[in-house]
Amino acid sequence: MTTTDAKTIKRAQQLMEAELRRSMKGLRLPKNPRPFFMSYLLHHTTGLDVWGRYGAVFNTETIRSCDLYTECRVGSYRLDQSVDGGLNQDHEERESYNWLVGPQDLDPTAVRYAFWKLSQLKYQEALQDYYDKQKILVDQRLKSETVSLSREPKLVKNLPVKAVKFSERRWESFVRQASALFGKYRKLVDPYVRIRGVSKVRLFVNSEGSKFTCQETFYEVLINAWYLTDEGAYLNASRFFHVRDATDLPKLSVVEATVDEIAEDLASLARAEPLEPYAGPALLSGTATGLLFHEAIGHRLEGERMLSRSEGQTFARKVGQRILPEQVDMFDDPTLSEWDGKPLYGHYVVDDEGVAAQRVQLVSKGVLRSFLMSRSCAPGFRRSNGHGRHERYQDPMARMANLIVQAEDTHDWSELKERMLAEVRRRRLPHGIIVRRVSSGETRTDHYEFQAFKGVPTEVYAVDPKTGRERRVRDISFIGTPLAAIQRIRSFGHDYEVDNSYCYAESGSVPVSTVAPSMVVDELELQRSSSRLYRPPVLKFPPLSKR
């Protein structure tokens, strides 16, 4: 299976341009505003997803889809129909939601028909939103100090599109061999191996004359297993490999070492004891530091959140003020494709609004300098910095891409550990905490809820303050509020770790990377995680057949 050829892609973009011109000219209702801006975006995705366990393929799924997105703005650049940065739109309740799928083979007539239909509905919905906004403006003041849609220079960037092959036979063979490696670990429950790859071609045109063709590839291998303890708790361990080039996918020898590591990790976790709630000093690995910055700070620097009436706007009025220690810089740079030889999942050339990807310096020497911005800019700013992104049908909004945290005056791991323990001893606490591995996080940014974030660590140790001995613990998560968390940073390490994953927000799931060093904080709060106890299977594990 291969991606659609470049000639077909080029023809589809030409048809999108033709239909866009027709829509801009013809979409008008008497005594109603006409569109002043429109854009078309087409996602053509091909790929393959294979997973299995114990040497067998359980499912092979061919990925082939075509998603459409149309933006229609009425009114003016200064004041259009958008409210609250578009964060509160419920697209799934609108009629246009039923017309987001385009022709997989990019048939010329079907491409024009699909955008014609979607444009009609988007125009009608834009008018409804426009008049709803006029009602709001009768008794409320919105963020009038910023324009509704930024003016951006014309961009034309049609990059080459290459055929990408996904070998079903080879990937199924890989899954069989890789998943069979779990056969020697009979105590592990429901292990599996999954390999997935996609090629996404984005075609874009807008009424300002901008257009682009970009192709991005994403590959991932997931190795996962569970362990059922004697008391009935299910423990999980997983490892991800995220790469942008198929040649960088892990070899079978790497998978075998990873399976052994997972088995050892789960055995260690099963011997660990649950930790009681804790608040005190902690040493975080680079991935844990990255997760904290991503959840506590990164989401709160997304430009649309400075426009929405429902957002807490933690940092909205802090530009030019110190929010982090003086030694810290933080920037987001989607133009980076790798860091220290490791691929960055958040790399792209042009965002989903036709603006070139740009590095943005968010924090310099601890001082907040800017926000992540799409074409819906934060107050005080007039231009996008190329961070408008979305998954499918959602409106693009400012999102993180490659978030980099850098620090001066750094120390090695042993020095950081001693600094953490010194604070533990000073406060006469029973132990300190080391977080070596994390799996996920979440945060709430709206003012109706608590301004808090949460992280899920998967490898945590309680450290004796006298001897430095590390004891594995489990069933915990770390929580905090953003301003409190960043006020208690003490020291950073030299070691930088790359964390590739997906980030979820109002504009959907997008690939991201975080690069950060290890870090000591004087205060990290840990809470007990909810857990259920299960009965073991009635029958024992069946015998495995010899191959």
Q: How far is the C-alpha of 372 from the C-alpha of 331, rounded, in Å?
A: 10
Tokens of residue 148, six digits: 């509704």
pLDDT at 198: 97
Q: How far is the C-alpha of 129 from the C-alpha of 235, rounded, in Å?
A: 48
pLDDT over 90 at 380, yes or no? no
Quick: pLDDT tens for 477-512.
888 776 777 888 999 999 999 999 999 999 999 999
Reported as a pLDDT band with limits 50, 70 and 90, residue 452 is low
Q: How far is the C-alpha of 85 from the C-alpha of 374, rounded, in Å?
A: 10
pLDDT at 450: 55
Quick: pLDDT tens for 190-246.
999 999 999 999 999 999 999 999 999 999 999 999 999 888 889 999 999 999 999
Rg (CA), the chain: 25
DSSP reduced 3-state for 1: coil
Could you tell me the domains of the chain?
6-212 (3.30.2290), 278-528 (no CATH)
Quick: pLDDT tens for 381-428.
999 999 999 999 999 999 999 999 999 989 999 999 999 999 999 999
pLDDT over 80 at 319, yes or no? yes
In this prediction, residues 25-42 reach a mean pLDDT of 96
Which bin fits 147, alpha (ψ -120 to 50), beta or left (φ > 0)?
beta
Angle at 240 between CA 286 and CA 439, to 5 degrees: 50
Nearest to 379 by CA among 321, 315, 451: 315
In Å, what is the CA distance from 489 to each residue of 407, 442, 497? 11, 20, 18
pLDDT at 145: 64
pLDDT over 80 at 310, yes or no? no
pLDDT at 529: 78
Reported as a pLDDT band with limits 50, 70 and 90, residue 87 is confident
pLDDT over 50 at 1, yes or no? no
Q: Compute φ and ψ for 31, nearest 5 degrees.
A: 65, 20
pLDDT at 2: 44
Sign of the four-CA dihedral 299, 482, 453, 435 = positive
Tokens of residue 151, six digits: 């003016």
pLDDT over 90 at 476, yes or no? no
Q: How far is the C-alpha of 337 from the C-alpha of 219, rounded, in Å?
A: 14
Nearest to 526 by CA among 463, 435, 464: 435
Quick: pLDDT tens for 3-13.
568 889 999 99
Instruction: Write down the mean pLDDT value for the chain.
Output: 91
DSSP reduced 3-state for 229: coil
